[in-house]
Amino acid sequence: MSNLDSRDTGIGAPANPPVPAVALNGITKRFGNVVACESVDLELWPGQIHALLGENGAGKSTLMKILFGLVQPERGTIKIDGHRVQILDPAKAALLGIGMVHQHFSLVDALTVWENVTLGETGRLDANATRARIAGIAERYGLEIDPDLRVGELSVGLRQRVEIIKCLRRDPHIIILDEPTAILSPEESEQLFGALRQMIVTENRTVILVSHKLDEVLRASDEITVMRQGKFVDRFTSATADTPTLARAMVGRDVEMPSGGGALRIRIPDKESAKNSDNLTSSSSPTGSVSSENSPVLCIKDALASGTANAPSLNGFSLKLYSHEIVGVAGAEGNGQTALVDLLSSLLTLVSGTVTVNDTVIPTGKAGAMAQAGIHVIPEDRQGSGLVTDMTVAENLMLNNPLGVTKWGVINRKQRSSLAQQIIAKYNIVCSGPNALLWTISGGNQQRVVLARELASQPKILVAAHPLSGLDISAAEYIKNHLIDAASNGAAVLFISSALEEIFDISQRIAVIHSGRIITETPREETNLESLGLLMGGSPT
């Protein structure tokens, strides 16, 4: 499993000292029964931009959090400049010269730029010295900023600039950037990479770039390590690698053949197969155009929602959904997926645009209106809007529809319990019984509770947001089968994910979301992983 074979690539560069700046060895970390990292080895050399490439949930963020002291590994060693260290918290990481630019900013909106930059340092608070330091960094790397502005008033690009300056203020020799361009415009990304290049060339720092954008990784980095499902996959030198190779390594070899619906693992539900209940694993028949002749079940038209500076919300989002189909919404994180799910969960009120279910306009942001209209949602953050963790399993199974077990507003506990028992058995939910509190069961089983509840009442429309993330393979397989089942039974399924492999696996139609709108929509047969990967990363087809 371990791959130490690339050690010589570092030594190959003559300017480098013989010890790597960072050496991670056999790092393993599990969350519950999900493996986030499994015996991962990684070596980083000074004077290089090293890219860590992988899909969501591939374990790259966890690995970086381990290096930054936010997460403790179960096994494995960390060496900085050849010395073995233990990094218990971010403060220790800072002492060791490690700086991190967080994907979700660690900035305080209400404070000014200079206050944010100096936050976390020690010693006397000196505004002028900090301003001077900011000016120095700004000049050196072309990252100009007014130190007296409030961070809350800055654009996303400028906020990230502050985050980078904040990271640089301690003069770290190892800099981690976690998905730094996820929310940047192309120009802003360009500027950022220019600054990074400067840092490694003139100052011999080590830069780690965590990303799932193939293009930028190739353009900006010197070396690329690919991770998948918590494991090391392969290592490339940027100069010799190309996008298709990287895409294949990133999403896994088993779907590397050009997708035309012919891949063996891909199963697509349609009306024919629905009649044959055992037909789930049969190969697909072309269906893309069949459904579109009918009227759509769900129609979102020109949805516009105001977002915060951090997350682009919906901006002219339109999508139609027909019954008996699974539509995959692909896109890099933070392009409006959260807003889309919130919209369909009645958690978001549109500024303009409409949501129609079977030609009835559904009011947005009205409690329970979407659920009433038959839209069932498996949310991304199950503890956020899917479950109530300090209620029992039975209660959670009846959250949206307690009416089935009530008479005149009174809940029949016996009936609820036996109904819950049935569902628990049917969906193989491992728990001590219907009255087990939800937090006592594992994440995978919690996910099953959500799934069971949303599927139990034969949904017309099912929205699943990143339902497979954080699950191990068998649990993921299980949920996929149920989604396919639902579509076979006539549901319209909206499947939102940033893992292309998942999307390709079960969707018939694939829509790519970018900056709050759908930029392309194609039947799966007419596209392939590589081109979609490029689209997602914002590069032209």
Partner 1 sequence: MNTRVSSRLGEWLVLYSLSLFTALLLSTLLVEATGGDWRAVLNALLDGSIRKPGRWGETISTAAPILLVALGTVIATRAGLVNIGQEGQLYIGAAVGTFIGFLVGGPGALNVVLILGCGALGGGIWAGFAAALKYWRGVPEVLSTLLLVSVASHAVAYGFRWDWLLLAPEADRGNRNQVSEQLPLDNRLPRPNIFGNEIPLTVPISVVITLGVTLVLTRTIWGFRLKILGRNKRTAQRVGVAEGKYGATALLLSGAFAGLAGAFMLTGGGYTFGNYQFVPGFAANIGWTGLLVALVANEKPLAAVPVAVLFAGLRTGSGFVSSTGVESRITDVIAGLLVLSLLIPTALMLLRDQRRFRTNMSERV
Partner 2 sequence: MSNLLNPIADILTSETTYLNGALFAAFLAFAATGEWVAERAGTINISIEAMLLNGAFAALLGYNYSGSIIIGLITAVLGAMLVAGIQAEMSHRLFADQFVVGLTLNILVLGLSGFLNNQISPRATLAGRWDVPLLSEIPLVGTALFAQRWPFYLLYPLIPFSWWLVHRSRWGLEARSVGENPHAADLTGINVNKRRRQSIYYAGFTCGLGGAFILFAHVGRFENTIIGGRGFIALAAVIFGGWTLRGSILGCTIFAAALSFRLSIQGLGYNLNSELLQSLPFLLTIVVMAVFAKRVRAPAGLARPFIRHTK
Please, where are the H alpha helices in 276-333? none
Residues 6+ apart with CB under 8 A from 295: 358, 359
| Cα 405 from Cα 414, distance rounded (Å) | 9
CB of 380 to partner 2, least distance (A): 13
Backbone angles phi, psi at 28, to 5 degrees: -130, 135
Identify what 268 binds: partner 1, partner 2, none; CB under 5 to 8 Å per kind.
Answer: none
Q: Where are the alpha helices (DSSP H) in 153-270?
A: 156-168, 186-203, 214-220, 243-251
**Binds partner 1 (CB under 8 A): choice among 124, 409, 473, 540:** 409
When computed from its CA atoms, the radius of gyration of the chain, rounded to whole angstroms, is: 25
Q: Which does 367 bind (CB under 5 to 8 A by kind): partner 1, partner 2, none?
A: partner 1
In the list 110, 129, 201, 361, the residue contacting partner 2 (rule: CB under 8 A) is 110
- Determine if 97 is a binding residue for partner 2 (CB under 8 A): no
Question: How far, in Å, CA of 383 to CA of 179, rounded?
Answer: 24
Nearest approach, Cβ of 148 to partner 2 (angstroms)?
Answer: 14
Cα 308–311–313 angle (5° rounding)?
80
**Residue 177: helix, strand or coil by DSSP?**
strand
One-letter identity of residue 117: V
Residues with Cβ within 8 Å of 488's Cβ and at least 6 positions away in sequence, in order, are 269, 270, 273, 274, 277, 279, 280, 324
Asked if 302 is part of the footprint of partner 2 (rule: CB under 8 A), the reply reads no
From partner 2, partner 1, none, interface partner of 515 (C-beta below 5 to 8 A by class): none
104 binds partner 1 (CB under 8 A): no
Q: From partner 2, partner 1, none, which one binds at residue 48 (CB under 5 to 8 Å depending on kind)?
A: none
Cα 155 to Cα 309: distance, rounded to the nearest angstrom:
6
Residue 377's binding partner among partner 1, partner 2, none (Cβ under 5 to 8 angstroms by kind) is partner 1
115 lines the binding site for partner 2 (CB under 8 A): yes
* By the rule CB under 8 A, 90 interacts with partner 2: yes
Residue 8, both tokens: 């010589």
Q: Of 151 and 332, which has the nearer Cβ to partner 2?
A: 151
Please say which residue, 31 or 237, places its beta carbon nearer to partner 1: 31
**How many other C-beta atoms can be found within 10 angstroms of the C-beta atom of residue 537?**
19
Query: Is the CB of 12 or the CB of 120 nearer to partner 2?
Result: 120
85 strand-pairing partners: 78
Among 111, 391, 436, 437, binds partner 2 (CB under 8 A): 111
Query: CB under 8 A: which stretch of 140-148, 192-200, 368-376, 418-426 binds partner 1?
Result: 368-376
Of 32-40, 480-488, 496-504, 532-540, the window that binds partner 1 (rule: CB under 8 A) is: 32-40
Rule CB under 8 A: is residue 129 a binding residue for partner 2? no
Our finding on whether 80 is near partner 1 (CB under 8 A) is: no
Please state whether 333 falls in left (phi above 0), alpha (psi between -120 and 50) or beta. beta
The β-bridge partners of 224 are 51, 236
Among partner 2, partner 1, none, partner that 410 touches (CB below 5 to 8 angstroms by kind): partner 1
Return the one option of partner 2, partner 1, none that residue 444 interacts with (CB less than 5 to 8 A, by type): partner 1
Are the C-beta atoms of 313 and 339 separated by less than 8 Å? yes
> Least Å distance between CB 88 and partner 2?
12
Binding range to partner 1, per CB under 8 A, among 13-21, 106-114, 289-297, 440-448: 440-448
φ, ψ dihedrals at 100, nearest 5°: -130, 135
* Closest by CA position to 340, among listed 529, 497, 157: 497
Q: Which does 237 bind (CB under 5 to 8 A by kind): partner 2, partner 1, none?
A: none
Q: DSSP secondary structure string, 405-473?
A: GEETTEE-HHHHHHHHHHHHHHTT--SS-TTSBGGGS-HHHHHHHHHHHHHHT--SEEEEESTTTT--H
Closest CA to 59 of 227, 196, 209: 227
Q: Which of residues 41-80 bind partner 2 (CB under 8 A)?
A: 70
β-pair type (315-321, 298-304):
antiparallel
Figure out which of the listed residues 109, 256, 302, 525 binds partner 2, where binding follows CB under 8 A: 109
C-beta of 123 vs 540, nearer to partner 2:
123
Q: Which of 16, 34, 121, 195 binds partner 2 (CB under 8 A)?
A: 121
At 435, which amino acid appears?
Answer: N
For the window 192-221, what string marks contact with partner 1 as x by the rule CB under 8 A? ------------------------------
Interface with partner 2 in residues 138-167 (CB under 8 A): 166
Q: Does 404 bind partner 1 (CB under 8 A)?
A: no
Q: Are the beta carbons of 352 and 304 closer than 8 angstroms? A: yes
Q: According to CB under 8 A, which one of 19, 34, 85, 119 is a site residue for partner 2?
A: 119
* Amino acid making up residue 369: A
- β-pair type (22-31, 223-228): unpaired
Minimal distance, residue 491 CB to partner 1, in Å: 18
What is the crossing angle of helices 413-426 and 443-456, to 10°? 110
Task: Note whether 53 binds partner 1 by CB under 8 A.
Answer: no
**3-state DSSP assignment of residue 4:** coil
**Closer CB to partner 2, residue 169 or residue 514?**
169
Residue 372 is a binding residue for partner 1 (CB under 8 A): yes
Residue 457 touching partner 1 (CB under 8 A): no
| Interface ranges with partner 1 (CB under 8 A) | 31-34, 36, 57, 61-62, 65, 71, 345-347, 366-372, 377, 379, 383-391, 395, 398-400, 402-403, 406, 409-411, 413, 432-433, 436, 439-444, 469-471
| Interface ranges with partner 2 (CB under 8 A) | 70, 89-91, 94, 102, 105-111, 115, 118-125, 166, 384
